[in-house]
Chains A and B, each alone.
Chain A
């Protein structure tokens, strides 16, 4: 029994080592930090402030939009998710790096089970992503978002579960990428479409009936938004930070939770073959 316990401790230390390496590497990567700061600034300063005047209380035909928030407030939770999305996928891509430059072999011949290697890697990526999400959260007050401490704690919790799932998702993708060149393609083909169809930069107004929504937006777009799991993650983040929900909050959290577990299991399946 005690040998099982000491082995458990040993393996936990191994997971910690892999986690620590991930976090150290990304904090030493100046390029990633610059991206993590400049990306939200551009979104908030340029897009957010630029579109802010055009957002409120518009009358569109017979229909009056009733999103009772400024565009800056509306887009802010989505920008947090965007930063998380980029950082998670970037961390997962370090797997390609490790495979290409051999470091992965050093870990694979160690007495660490593969699933725990993956766990350390995903936890490390998730931690980095949460740090990048928090860098956005810091400027909340400047865009008129005033979360309480408990809101902040909830937001960080949500960020972590979401980052965990997205890093696992990134590892699944990374497993199919041979070489670095194709990552740019994936970033444009996966990250941005996921983000834009997640009701991130425009609302599907909850005051509208479904029929009205389908009149206002083309059908395919509505379906894409509803099909995109990131929609519910962003909605959950909005619910926490600005108390605005377009969907059922309980359903939002379920989607994010199921996604995190499901994607990790999928990553485990993929990682067997590495």
Chain B
């Protein structure tokens, strides 16, 4: 393995100037980032931001048009097979074989990752234990709930002891309880040594627990940093008001042209001076149905960086996103 290029000490992932175009859409526009070893790193952005395209390139499925990407120091374009050994991937859509049993899925994975028989057997049991699926080992996957399937996929991705685990929207389509449980597992993995976790999500409330966040929109990286650093740099106190009528709405918009439409006919106003909450109450107090003041949050960070509410970002269909 002498051909492997050396990489900056302690970096699990290096992305340098990666661009990718699908037809007329620039899905990734000169993206660079570095992820230190042993951290939990979140890629945050609305649907269609380019997260999945970036993950595909890092997983060696997609090829960048330009730039380069290293996984544990291995170039994903030049040495895809070597890079894949260091990767565990949980894709957004389930990739289990539902006609095989839980154990058979893990065993299949162990074999295609070329693990020896003994190691495969012990590792299967360890992984089943890790995600509390030991009792389901011999059930066919089609009998499992979607939360259990997700846990199985995480277990499977870790079978071959990868250095880096990718979780692409791991909590989409799960109920609140199952989502919380997935994040419990991620926290447990974080405590484990020698694993870097890259997670993509568009649920903003989920990434507060990560070490580093990278906010990405329309193929560009807008900001990087720890949640606290991002909040203090880009966050602002956010005023959420619900006008009583359309006239009131128009009046508020005329007064605060930077206000952004939020969920449920809310208007989101970023406060610059401390007195603006008082100002708006004095001016429009009787025309508001509801008002709330949010302390700096990642939501306001996203708003101030992109000028739109993450929740309100128009959903892009799966196909459109794949094709850019």
Contact = CB atoms under 8 A, between A and B. Distances in A.
Given A13-B114, A14-B111, A17-B111, A105 B81 contact: no
Contact of B82 (A102, A107, A110, A111): A111
B60 interface: yes
A64 interface: no
Interface size class of B (residues with CB under 8 A): 20 to 34
Interface string B66-87: 0000000000000001101101
A21 B97 contact: yes
Nearest to B90: A106
Contact of B94 (A11, A14, A102, A109): A102
Contacts of B84: 109-111
B112 A108 contact: no
B94 A17 contact: no
A111 B61 contact: no
Contacts of A101: 93-95, 98
Nearest to A6: B114
B61 A24 contact: no
Interface in B26-40: none
Interface string B98-110: 1110001001110
Contacts of B93: 101-102
Contact of A105 (B91, B111, B113): B91
A109 B153 CA distance: 14
Contacts of B94: 101-102
B104 A24 contact: yes
B95 A111 contact: no
Nearest to A11: B114
Interface string A19-39: 011001100110000000000
7 contacts: A7-B114, A14-B111, A14-B112, A21-B104, A101-B94, A106-B156, A108-B61
Interface of B: 59-61, 81-82, 84-85, 87, 89, 91, 93-100, 104, 107-109, 111-114, 156
Interface of A: 7, 9-11, 13-14, 16-18, 20-21, 24-25, 28-29, 101-113
